């Protein structure tokens, strides 16, 4: 009898002997040290501190400097959230411009596509980019200041050709647009922003929303495709900042819900 047959007899509990072995293995598998309040509380905080310290060391000493080396400009107080990967995946010849006080998670992808020339990604001051976003740039994607971006995908082009015969052909021309995300924008988890799209200042993109058309400033959009669900209050001080033209877009916007 080989080892595999022996283990199978235990799993099947074929005889009292094998049943006994099964119960011993079951008890060993579920064994744990009893909880000791205080001691194990301290162990939990010790573990968190040890992991955070270790990751912070590598972030500051290794990951952030090598990420900065891939940027055309990277401002002060960059913070890469190290969840285990260490550094975002950077694909292609992408020009990256990052402002001050920007936070990026490490489990994201930043890609410059071969279908465009000089693809450029710009991220403004005080903006946070969550995971697991993929930003696919054929021409230009700009994200303003003071934004919270939790999208799954931002792309300035519609992606692969709809014609199955041409989909895998080389050098198939794809229409490249421009994604411009304003300041104070919040894009919810798993949302997608695709194509030649402008999202106005102060707008909110709901969870799971797919944006393929412009979003007026200080408006809330949701759904697939995105629909205007609500207008937010438009602060008077913002009118001078965004301009009368953008404010008029806000006034002209019609709620679709």
pLDDT higher at 145 or 256: 145
Question: Treating both helix axes as pointing N-terminal to C-terminal, what angle do 16-29 and 3-12 enclose, rounded to 10 degrees?
Answer: 90
State yes or no: is 160 an active-site residue.
yes
Closest CA to 193 of 174, 208, 173: 208
Query: What are the pLDDT digits (tens) for 36-75?
Result: 999 999 999 999 999 989 988 999 999 999 999 999 999 9
Return the residue matching tokens 């000791």. 36
Query: What are the pLDDT digits (tens) for 163-205?
Result: 666 666 655 566 788 999 999 999 999 999 998 999 999 999 9
Q: Residue 134 region, left (φ>0) first, then alpha (ψ -120 to 50), else beta?
A: beta
**CA 172/CA 123 separation, integer angstroms:** 29
Q: Which two tokens stand for residue 45?
A: 């905080």
| Residue 251: alpha-carbon gap to chain centroid | 32
Exactly one of 30, 79, 160, 189 is catalytic; which is it? 160
Q: Which two tokens stand for residue 233?
A: 């209050």
- State the virtual CA torsion across 41, 42, 43, 46 in degrees, nearest 10: 130
**0.85 exceeded by pTM:** no
222: helix, coil or strand?
Answer: strand
Cβ-proximal residues to 78 (8 Å cutoff; 6+ apart), any chain: 64, 67, 68, 98, 102, 103, 104
Domain ranges across the chain: 70-252
Superfamily of domain 70-252: Hexapeptide repeat proteins (2.160.10.10)
Half-sphere exposure of 64 (CA within 13 A, CB side): 20
Q: Which two tokens stand for residue 72?
A: 């055309």
């Amino acid at each position: 009898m080989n080892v595999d047959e022996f283990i199978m007899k235990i799993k099947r509990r074929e005889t009292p002997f094998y049943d006994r072995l099964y119960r011993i293995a079951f008890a060993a598998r579920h064994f744990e040290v009893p909880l000791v309040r205080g001691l194990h509380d301290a162990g939990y905080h010790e573990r968190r501190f040890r992991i955070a310290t270790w990751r912070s060391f590598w972030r500051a000493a290794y990951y952030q400097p090598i990420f900065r080396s891939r940027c055309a400009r990277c401002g002060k107080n960059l913070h890469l959230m190290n969840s285990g990967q260490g550094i975002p995946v950077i694909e292609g010849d992408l020009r990256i411009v990052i402002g001050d006080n920007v936070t990026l998670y490490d489990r994201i992808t930043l890609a410059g596509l071969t279908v465009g020339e000089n693809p450029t990604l710009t991220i403004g001051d005080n903006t946070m980019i969550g995971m697991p976003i993929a930003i696919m740039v054929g021409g230009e994607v700009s994200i303003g200041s003071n934004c919270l971006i939790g999208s799954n995908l931002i792309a300035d082009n519609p992606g692969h050709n709809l014609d199955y015969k041409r989909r895998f052909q080389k050098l198939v021309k794809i229409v490249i647009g421009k994604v411009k995300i304003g300041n104070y924008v919040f894009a919810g988890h798993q949302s997608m922003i695709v194509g030649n799209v402008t999202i106005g200042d102060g707008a909110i993109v709901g969870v799971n929303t797919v944006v393929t058309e412009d979003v007026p400033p200080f408006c809330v959009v949701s759904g697939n495709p995105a629909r205007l669900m609500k207008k937010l209050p438009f602060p008077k001080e913002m009118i001078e900042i965004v301009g009368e033209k953008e404010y008029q877009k806000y006034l002209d916007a019609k709620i679709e819900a």
